[in-house]
Amino acid sequence: MMFEEIFQKNSQWVAEKLSVDENYFANLAAGQHPEYLYIGCSDSRVTAEDLMGLQPGEVFIHRNVANLVITTDNNLNAVVQYAVERLKVKHIIICGHYECGGVAAAMNPSDMGQLNSWLQALRDVYRLHRKELDAITDEKKRVDRLVELNVREQCINVIKIDHVQRSWYATGFPTIHGWVFDVRTGRLIDLDLDMYSIFGEVRSIYDVVRGDRE
């Protein structure tokens, strides 16, 4: 596709939106009030609004390779703080996806330059769950399982962030969700993670707001 085609498609998109609602862009310009923060993979096949069936303005989005929540990542922390403190999102969604190249690379170590340090976090997830993963003989199923376990670990990482903890204790929100998008079927899969119980297991280590006083 040539760049000119992109701008032509943009013009068509604008016309389509205005044909349905003449105030569409005026309403967009008025501000955003999303209830969801979506942290997903940068993979070009996984677009948050499309797979969730939502419209612009309904979901705040952060994407990176393999949907990692690195608590020392200033970009990620800025997104989370803004979403929680300013936008008052009610839900934080960590969404991985099957056929994830980053996850597959983490299970097959090789020198990938700048990606080496980034994928280290994924390899840590593999190390934490190596016994379970190495017991899976089917390679595709093993990678799929690491996708799921990675989502779980990133959900824990979100709760480690002080902005999230303060809001959690003050309001009960945001609720943390772990999902996987199956690119083979188009279906979203809710991993049904009970993050209150999961965080309870490690609260004495990571709770920076209340510690283990309660």
pLDDT tens readout for residues 151-199: 999 999 999 999 999 999 999 999 999 999 999 999 999 999 999 899 9
pTM comes to 0.92
43 an active-site residue? yes
Confidence of residue 1 (pLDDT cuts 50, 70, 90): low
166 an active-site residue? no
Parent domain of 82 = 34-206
Helix (H, G, I), strand (E, B) or coil at 103: helix
Asked whether residue 156 is domain-assigned, the answer is yes
41 an active-site residue? yes
Q: What is the chain's mean pLDDT, rounded?
A: 92
97 an active-site residue? yes
pLDDT tens readout for residues 132-142: 999 999 999 99
pLDDT tens readout for residues 22-42: 999 999 898 889 999 999 999
pLDDT tens readout for residues 50-95: 999 998 899 999 999 999 999 899 999 999 999 999 999 999 999 9
73 an active-site residue? no
Asked whether residue 212 is domain-assigned, the answer is no
From residue 63, how far is each of 43, 76, 87, 158 by CA, in Å? 9, 9, 18, 14
How many structural domains compose the chain? Answer: 2
User: Which residue is catalytic, options 45, 130, 187, 210?
Assistant: 45
User: Which residue is catalytic, options 97, 142, 163, 177?
Assistant: 97
- Same structural domain for residues 98 and 16? no
- Rg from Cα positions in the chain: 19
User: Which residue is catalytic, options 62, 95, 100, 142?
Assistant: 100
